[in-house]
Structure 1
Amino acid sequence: MHQPPDNGTFRRVLGHLPTGVVVVTASSAGVPHGLAIGSFTSVSLDPPLIGFFPAKTSRSWPAIEAAGRFCVNVLDEDQQDLSARFAARDGDRFAGVTWRRSPSGSPILAGVHAWIDCVLDEVTGYGDHWFVSARVTALGVERGHGPLVFYQGGYARLVSGDPVSGGPAG
């Protein structure tokens, strides 16, 4: 039986898979909350479900979970500053940030690539993270630039927004 990889090796190897960067936002009692997530995915088309993995140590996730609805803000390629701001452990993440309300009342951050309004479906623990599934209630594309991508420990940009012909076999 093989030994499991150490944390550094695990992180380095999985860093070879690019991930999109999103900020999940909610409003609770009129107070906005948000956190950066690098583990967002589409889960189902019918019904429309998304999923992501906040850390169990997150101080922002409990307020978002309690709100029961939230907005996933897909960051645009020029929004590294928002990614860093919402990934920080301390400080007022919304200070000086322009936003408007989504149909559910959650913050849509100005200048995002796209947004996805959701209602919480289920939260399940896996290792040191929660898996959150949510039902999509509304969504939209805001900008035509590329999305912000995290790759090998830093931010990256897509060279072209054109999809590769053929796509994956289904």
Structure 2
Amino acid sequence: MTSPPDPAEFRRVVGRFATGITVVTAVADGVDHAMTMNAFTSVSLDPLLVLFCVEKKARFHKVVLDAGTWAVSILGEGSEAASSWFATRGRRWEDQLEGWATHRGEVTGVPVLAEAIGALECRTHSVHDAGDHTVVIGEVLSAGSPSEADPLLYYQGAYRTLRSE
């Protein structure tokens, strides 16, 4: 029996899979919270379902599980600053979205980034344990395209666009 791959090698190999970048937002106790996610995908058309994976030790983990509703802002090229900010560990707990243009989702009231090229409002459908992460599956309550741009991508540890060389 062979041993499992080294975690660093695993990370290098899966880094070869290009992903889009999202910011997931939720509201807890009247406070807006957000976190960058690239582990996001559509799941089902009937019913409409999406999922994201959140690290259990992240502060956002408890927030999004307790909130029950959340929004996904799909980032476009030029949104590297937003992606980096909402991925920063230990950033201030209050006013995380201060300085970022947002609007409230019409269905959930959860903030959506104005610069998003796609936006989804969701209600938690199910939650699944997955090692050091939790898989959160959401029922899509609304969908829209707030702005137009090519997507922001993440590949081999760096931001890319469709025109990257």
TM-score by length of 1: 0.90
Q: Structure 1: any 5+ residue segments left out of the alignment? A: 161-170
- Match of residue 95 from structure 1: 98
What CA RMSD, in Å, does the superposition of the two structures yield over aligned residues?
Answer: 1.3
- Match of residue 163 from structure 1: none
Inter-partner Cα distance in structure 2 for 1:39 and 1:106: 20
Query: Does the CA-based 8 Å contact 1:34-1:64 persist in structure 2?
Result: no
- Match of residue 64 from structure 1: 64
Counterpart amino acid of residue 102 in structure 2? W
Query: Does the CA-based 8 Å contact 1:51-1:131 persist in structure 2?
Result: yes
Q: Secondary structure at the match of 2:55?
A: coil
Inter-partner Cα distance in structure 2 for 1:22 and 1:60: 14
Query: Does the CA-based 8 Å contact 1:15-1:152 persist in structure 2?
Result: yes
1:151 partnered with 2:152: no
Structure 1 segments, 4+ long, off by >2 Å, are none
Listed one character per residue, the Cα deviations across residues 102-132 of structure 1 (whole Å, up to 9, x for unaligned) are 0211001121111010000111111111011
- Match of residue 54 from structure 2: 54
Q: Which is strand-richer, 1 or 2?
A: 2
Counterpart amino acid of residue 146 in structure 2? E
1:111 partnered with 2:118: no
Counterpart amino acid of residue 143 in structure 1? S
* Percent of residue pairs bearing the same amino acid type: 38
What's the offset of the Cα at 1:159?
A: 2.7
- Match of residue 20 from structure 1: 20
What's the offset of the Cα at 1:91?
A: 2.1
TM-score by length of 2: 0.93
Inter-partner Cα distance in structure 1 for 2:27 and 2:130: 26
What is the number of equivalent residue pairs in this alignment? 160
- Match of residue 9 from structure 1: 9
